[in-house]
Amino acid sequence: MALRSRLPHVGTTIFTVMSALAAETQAVNLGQGFPDFDCDPALPQAVCNAMAAGHNQYPPMPGVPALRQAMAAKMHVLYGAAVDANAEVTVTAGATQAILTALLAIVHPGDEVIVLEPCYDSYVPNIELAGGVVVRVPLVPGTFRPNFDALAAAITPRTRALIINSPHNPSGTVWREADMQRLQDLLAPTEVLLISDEVYEHMVFDGQAHASAARYPGLFERAFVVGSFGKTYHVTGWKVGTVVAPAALTAEFRKVHQFNVFTVNTPMQHALAAHMANPKPYLELSAFYQRKRDLFRQGLAQTRFRLLPSEGTYFQCVNISDLAVPERDLPEAEFCQWLTREVGVAAIPLSAFYGNGFDQRVIRFCFAKQDGTLQTALQRLSRL
């Protein structure tokens, strides 16, 4: 039987490949972005409590009201946004589903959607599944800051949407208030919609504040703001996220959501709503991960890896050009395989986040790991 692929250029993701290689070689997996430690034990207990209380059937399609109300309250307290929990908050099966659903809701065949490279690997296939045309605008190599002149030049009458991500995966760069203000001014005379991927919103370091699109009225009125409980509460396998958007955009989003997911795990929604009553866990998350970042950076500083800034997320990028091994001259992807097999530490090549495989001699580590895991990795990397 001959099949015509919807995604003919897509194979197995680099994350799956490197995690499988790490397992095969018993390497320390600093590649894929997930913690190797447990969540607050109160959270799974809250799930059990919700199940025991009978919350085991379908919840409302947009999500459990208590969780949507908690999200609306958080958006108001942290970002000053007035959000209607009933009409503007939707609970999703993780952030990846949220982004795909937003694109399916607003993009028609031939519409252009701008992505800023390097970018998370789901963006481009999501746009293609919606029938959109991908327009790639590079972030500034080395700093990974937005190039607003290049972004302005990429906007055409066919531009339907722009996807931004701060704190940024894979680089760890954080957009600042001046960046968001400039973006607001740039989009003001257009009808371009915004998908703001903010799954690392509570991982911003060195006293900086997260510049959510919800803080800026000119952006928020055209934005889908995407969040992730999995990232915030160390439960990535739960696959629960949110989209906050103006009522008109939410209405279109829910038209698609009800047919590609319909609704999301009921007891987990109730558990998350109860857990959000105490804001301390997410308010202290930046300090938690900054300590891990500093521990990891301090160890890497004793090697020949050249550290790039890590302003947010739980990722650290390094340049491999100065390493004292001949394998440093391998393409990034081959270097990461060598590092996994021969050194025993798995990483991700930054070239995997570019459509053209742009090789800058940069790889990405994840430091969302137990201190012992990081120390073991650092001991192995010290050989370089």
Catalogue all structural domains in the chain, each as residue range(s) with its CATH number.
14-33+283-381 (3.90.1150.10), 42-277 (3.40.640.10)
Which two structure tokens, joined as six digits, stand for 362? Answer: 């940069």
Per-residue model confidence (pLDDT) at position 106: 98
174: helix, strand or coil: coil
Given a cut of 90, whether residue 14 has pLDDT beyond it is no
Per-residue model confidence (pLDDT) at position 117: 98
Per-residue model confidence (pLDDT) at position 197: 98
Given a cut of 90, whether residue 1 has pLDDT beyond it is no
Measured CA to CA, the distance from residue 279 to residue 315 in angstroms comes to: 24
Over range 244-262, report the average pLDDT.
97
Per-residue model confidence (pLDDT) at position 2: 84
Measured CA to CA, the distance from residue 291 to residue 286 in angstroms comes to: 9
Over range 64-92, report the average pLDDT.
98
- Percentages helix, strand, coil for the chain, rounded to the nearest 5? 45, 15, 40
Phi/psi for 306 (5° steps) reads -95, 115
Over range 353-360, report the average pLDDT.
95
**Closest Cα to residue 270, out of 79, 86, 78, 52?**
52
Residue 96 has, within 13 A of its CA and on its CB side, a CA count of 13
Given a cut of 90, whether residue 10 has pLDDT beyond it is no
Which pTM value belongs to this model? 0.97
What would the pLDDT profile of 34-43 be if each residue is shown by its tens digit? Answer: 999 999 999 9
pLDDT band at 146 (very low <50, low <70, confident <90, very high): very high
DSSP designation for 204: B
Per-residue model confidence (pLDDT) at position 11: 83
Per-residue model confidence (pLDDT) at position 250: 98
pLDDT band at 9 (very low <50, low <70, confident <90, very high): confident
Which two structure tokens, joined as six digits, stand for 52? Answer: 């025991």
What would the pLDDT profile of 266-276 be if each residue is shown by its tens digit? Answer: 999 999 999 99
Given a cut of 90, whether residue 71 has pLDDT beyond it is yes
- CB atoms near residue 334 (< 10 Å): 12
User: Mean pLDDT of all residues in the chain?
Assistant: 97
Given a cut of 90, whether residue 217 has pLDDT beyond it is yes
